[in-house]
Amino acid sequence: MLFRSPLAAPGILHQAVHEVAPPRPGNRHPERVPHGVYPCEGDDNWLLIQVNSDDEWTKLCRLVLPLAPYQSLDAEERQHQCELIESILIEWLSVQDARELMHRLQAEGLVAAVLSDMPGVMQDMHLQARGYWQMLERDFVGVQPHPSPPWRLSAEPISVKTP
């Protein structure tokens, strides 16, 4: 039998060794803080933020002024202060526009992405600029958008010929 879920392997091994299911981490990463999805201003507006290095942490602290006093924390110290850091970040984000902040964070080289509903994905300027959505005629329903493969072999998206 071919094992088709490599992401399940750590949990299966943990269960086999410890005879108990591993704890659920939620959005948290075992080594990186902050690393999660956080609510922003408005109703159901969420922003993914992932800090993967001390340099990225410093950049985030320069943008999120309430985090500035914690700028010198290294990855291990941030892990120990996770609750405090996330509470400060959540409070600050509660009055921030998710899309505007995403662009500011990305401009600094940080990982940030707005979580979008389907209309938001369909209207996403980046996907539109890349020609991601291709319109195809479908039996019974007419012209419908179809996603392009996420990779490219040239500057143009790979043509989608069938639904």
What are the tens digits of pLDDT across the range 18-61? 999 888 877 777 778 899 999 999 999 999 999 999 999 999 99
Q: Coil, helix or strand for 22?
A: coil
Q: Are 128 and 116 in contact (CB under 8 A)?
A: no
Expressed in percent and rounded to 5, the helix, strand and coil fractions of the chain are 40, 15, 40
- DSSP conformation class of 159: P
Closest CA to 99 of 147, 42, 141: 42
- Rg (C-alpha) for the chain, rounded Å, is 20
This prediction has a pTM of: 0.76
When pLDDT is cut at 50, 70 and 90, the band that residue 4 belongs to is: low
Q: Are 149 and 157 in contact (CB under 8 A)?
A: yes
Residue 16 CA, chain-centre distance (Å), reads 31
Q: Are 133 and 148 in contact (CB under 8 A)?
A: yes
pLDDT in tens, 108-150: 999 999 999 888 889 888 889 889 999 999 889 999 999 988 8
